[in-house]
Amino acid sequence: MYKQHSLSLAYLTVQGCPPVEHVRCAAVAGYDAAGLRLIAPLGLELAHPIVGDKALIREIRTTAADLGIGFLDGEVFTLRADTAIESWLPVIETAAEFGMPLMQITSEDPDLSRASDNLGRIADVAGGHGIAIAIEFMRWRAAATIEDAAQLAAASGRGNVGILLDALHLSRSGGGPAAVAALRDKVLYLQLCDAPASQPADDAGRIAEARGARMIPGEGGLWLGELMAELPPDIAISVETPHRGDASLSFVEKARRGIAGTRNFLDSL
């Protein structure tokens, strides 16, 4: 039953939605929580900056409290050779204001020693606020596989660092349920969607798929049933289902489509 899982509305499912409306969409559609983009991924810009806007932060918090919506995670730090951890401190403080237990991080730094040192430093700051750092691996990043993410987490030496498991990225990086079985203790939460069994031909296609062409769980060709069997029965799930066919839908319709399909899939297990 899906009631075992806390379901959160991921940023990409309602990409471009203003954050207060994002929270309202989560409530109307029946989610338990929401995830907010606090810092842009490498190469992108924030559509709706939050960090540093005290009035907006207060409005988001008030709206969430009034509607009974929590916050699962914040997006997304990127480790680079020139990472300046000090610039991330306001982001961690904002995540703490929302009571987020998790912050996402990716790595574009091929130097494991340097990347793990910076990861450990930001994890120490996050840990002071009760926040864990979840490494999201992607085929086109330096941390490309679940094994890469596990290695980076271990190298950091911090107990509040683990893995964000995205079903799509697991598939596209050559992984599957067996890889998860070996590392399940490192997985902090799950981003759930489906996709065709065959993947795009190149990284440009994989990036486009990840950001805007995912499928509802159970409607594609991935091994999601086997994946769920390897994970804790109460693992938190971020519903990340942006789809190219959603262009005509409102934000709340996109949110409803994602949660309805996810519930149907989980109930079918």
Angle at 135 between CA 128 and CA 90, to 5 degrees: 40
pLDDT tens for residues 120-134?
999 999 999 999 999
User: How many Cβ atoms sit within 10 Å of the Cβ of residue 227?
Assistant: 22
C-alpha–C-alpha distance, residues 56 and 193, integer Å? 30
Q: Which residues contact 53 (CB under 8 A, 6 or more apart)?
A: none
pLDDT of amino acid 4 = 86
pLDDT in tens, 67-100: 999 999 999 999 999 999 999 999 999 999 999 9
> pLDDT per residue over 206-255, tens digit each?
999 999 999 999 999 999 999 999 999 999 999 999 998 888 999 999 99
pLDDT at res. 158 = 98
Distances (CA, A) of 42 to 45, 46, 141: 8, 11, 10
Using DSSP's 3-state secondary structure scheme, residue 100 falls into coil
pLDDT in the model for residue 74:
98
Beta bridge partners of 104: 134
CA distances from 20 to 2, 57, 79, 109, 181 (A): 26, 9, 28, 33, 37
What single letter denotes the amino acid at residue 189?
Answer: Y
Q: Which of 4, 2, 19 is nearest to 75 (CA)?
A: 19
Angle at 41 between CA 40 and CA 46, to 5 degrees: 25
Q: At what angle do helices 19-29 and 251-268 cross, to 10 degrees?
A: 40
Question: Pick from 82, 83, 80, 75: which is nearest to 48 by CA?
Answer: 75
Q: Report whether 265 contacts 217 (CB < 8 A).
A: yes
Note the pLDDT of residue 262: 97
Residue type at 155? A
pLDDT tens digits, one per residue of 135-167: 999 999 999 999 999 999 999 999 999 999 999
Q: What is the pLDDT of residues 21-41, one digit of tens each?
A: 999 999 999 999 999 999 999
What is the token pair recorded at 258?
């994602």
- The Cα–Cα gap between 130 and 146 comes to 24
Q: What letter does residue 6 receive in the DSSP assignment?
A: -
State the pLDDT at residue 3: 60
75: which DSSP letter?
E
Total residue count of the chain as it appears in this document: 269
What pLDDT sits at residue 1? 41
Total-model pTM: 0.96
